[in-house]
Amino acid sequence: MKKSIRRAALTAGIVWGLTVFLGTLASVFIGYGTAFFSVFTSIYPGYQLTPGGSVIGLMYGFLDAAVGTYIVVWVYQNLTK
């Protein structure tokens, strides 16, 4: 069971990290989702709507989703026992 928790956390981390990374780049270069991605400046310290900020967003997004998903799946698995 623990492997499935790790896999779910890793998958969510990769997906959300890449979403923040690519979304930030799209926001910087073509103006896509600027209002949405600017919200992360108040959530992720050091994050900005810049190409460098997209890398910071990638790291924070990965950690945020991986840890959050790990906790949710762990609680779910322990409640269903």
pLDDT score of 2 more than 90? no
Distance linking the first and last C-alpha atoms of the chain: 12
Residue 3, pLDDT score: 72
Instruction: In whole angstroms, give the CA distance from residue 24 to residue 57.
Output: 8
Residue 80, pLDDT score: 79
Counting Cα atoms < 13 Å in the Cβ hemisphere of 61 gives 23
| Angle separating helix axes 51-79 and 2-30, nearest 10 degrees | 150
Stated pTM of the model:
0.90
Instruction: In whole angstroms, give the CA distance from residue 80 to residue 22.
Output: 36
Render pLDDT for 14-69 as a digit per residue (tens, 0 to 9): 999 999 999 999 999 999 999 999 999 999 999 999 999 999 999 999 999 999 99
